[in-house]
Amino acid sequence: MPEISRTTNEIIQEAFRLIGIYSSDRNLSGGDLDLGLRELNIILDSYNGASVKIPYNKTLDFYLTPSQQSYVISNKSGTDVSSNPIMLMNNIVLIDSDIQYPIRIASDDIYYNNPQNLTSNGKPEQVFLQNDVDQTTITFDKIPDKAYQCVIKGKFTFNHASLNQVIDEVPAFYHSFLEYKLAQKLHNKYSGSTWSQSKESELQELERRVDSKTDCDLKIRRFGMFVDTYRERVRP
């Protein structure tokens, strides 16, 4: 089922409308738009550092650099691959001309408790993923000998937004949560704004649902050297 497409500008606009600063048919000023974006990224950053993430499915496509074994994936400047961090990889393939090579995803136990090819060149056969707060590092078991096309399918974390960014991969449920959470923060910065108890109650209910969300929870079960992922729904 396709997700509803929104932009960061629309989420910021709706947040201002919720506190009565702008009507839905009036464009935001540049200063208010910039402030809204800064506050939105503060919200995303706070959730990125907590146990609750805003997840979405995505395919990441980039080319490996011959002789480079590890790649940092992050929104920070100067990283190897510009992208939101990966929560969990479902599968990864390397493509050389018309040939596609599936790569094994190594668990922590397998990677750290078994010999790895860390000095020889060749076609990598497995990859290890390490998550930090705001970045992901992937390391191959061999040093790539070619500029393979690398395609990763997995679940990523929405931890950074930019102006005019299309948000069509994040589940639509989170749009309302971000609008209300941003509106609450903006209300504290605008003396002429309004924030009713009913809106506060709606936000608290949205936060409760985010904190207890189970249809996006990820569990891992291992079969040999492969990691299989699935969604687990918990009955209320």
Question: pLDDT truncated to tens, each residue of the chain (236 aa)?
Answer: 445 678 899 999 999 999 998 766 677 888 999 999 999 999 988 877 666 678 788 899 999 999 999 999 998 889 999 998 898 899 999 999 989 999 999 877 777 777 766 678 999 989 999 888 788 999 998 899 999 999 999 988 888 888 988 887 777 778 999 999 999 999 988 988 999 999 999 999 988 887 776 444 433 333 333 333 333 333 33
Q: How many angstroms separate the most distant Cα atoms in the chain?
A: 65
Say if residue 4 is exposed, middle or buried (CB neighbours under 10 Å; 0-12, 13-18, 19+): exposed
219 backbone dihedrals φ, ψ, rounded to 5°: -120, 155
Strand positions, DSSP E, 64-148:
70-74, 81-82, 86-96, 99-106, 121-122, 126-131, 136-140, 143-144
Say if residue 232 is exposed, middle or buried (CB neighbours under 10 Å; 0-12, 13-18, 19+): exposed
Instruction: Tell me the whole-structure pTM to 2 decimals.
Output: 0.72
Distance CA 56, CA 154 (A): 8
